[in-house]
Amino acid sequence: MRIVILISGRGSNMQALLEAEYASAAPVQFVCVISNKAAAPGLQTAAAHGVPTEVLEHRQFPDRASFDAALAARIDAYQPDIVVLAGFMRVLTEDFVRHYANRLINVHPALLPAFPGLDTHARAIAAGVKLHGCTVHFVTPEVDAGPIIAQAAVPVLADDTPQTLAARVLRQEHRLFPQVISWLAQGRILMRENGTVEVRPGDRDVAADADVALVFPAR
């Protein structure tokens, strides 16, 4: 499975993807990392892992549509099966998203459909929820509203700050995102007719630890 990763910053989720182990029967190849910012630290990380990198500065384009068209052309040159948003801080146009329908995935730091958008950890604390977490989902034109593939939840502790909660959630992002890539490579992720996602059963993929309140699907 050929994968292009899009980043805007340090790319910690990208690094987790690059360093994960994948089943030899379902090989994964990261063919390029593309950033909309030349100074993104994640570009150096990708290069250190032997992955080709490119920069396409969005500020060099007159509007969002022209940037997205140029970005799609760059991506398509690598003929990817999947395009991964790993901290890519751009709202994508509807044409771009539809071009990669069911091939564009993202990780969001909340248990969608709760807390779409920004400042998810502070909002979760303010709302008094007892569980928070992350969601890997297919991207659709409506922001943070695509079909959910998998979620990991962590407890919200009484003394949590947005920073401590973010760190706990990020550890699960780094585990869940590679797991979803592995499932995709194995052909275990299916889109149902009703627009929801089914993950076919398999061996246990995500081991529980003290940080995890729930990981689903666990198999």
Torsion on CA atoms 190, 191, 194, 198, rounded to nearest 10: 30
The alpha carbon of 28 is separated from its chain's Cα centroid by a whole number of angstroms, namely 16
Residue 107 bridge partners (DSSP)? 136
User: 113: cis peptide before it, omega within 30°?
Assistant: yes
Residues in the chain: 219
CB atoms within 10 A of CB 73: 10
The 8-class DSSP code of residue 26 comes to: S
The amino acid present at 133, given as its one-letter code, is: G
State how beta strands 82-85 and 2-7 pair.
parallel
Q: Is 108 one of the catalytic residues? A: yes
User: Collapsing DSSP states into helix, strand and coil, what is residue 13?
Assistant: helix
> Per the residue annotation, which of 99, 108, 132, 137 is the catalytic one?
108
State how beta strands 189-191 and 148-155 pair.
unpaired
- For residues 197 and 148, give the distance between their C-alpha atoms in angstroms, rounded to a whole number: 6
Which residues are catalytic, by number?
108
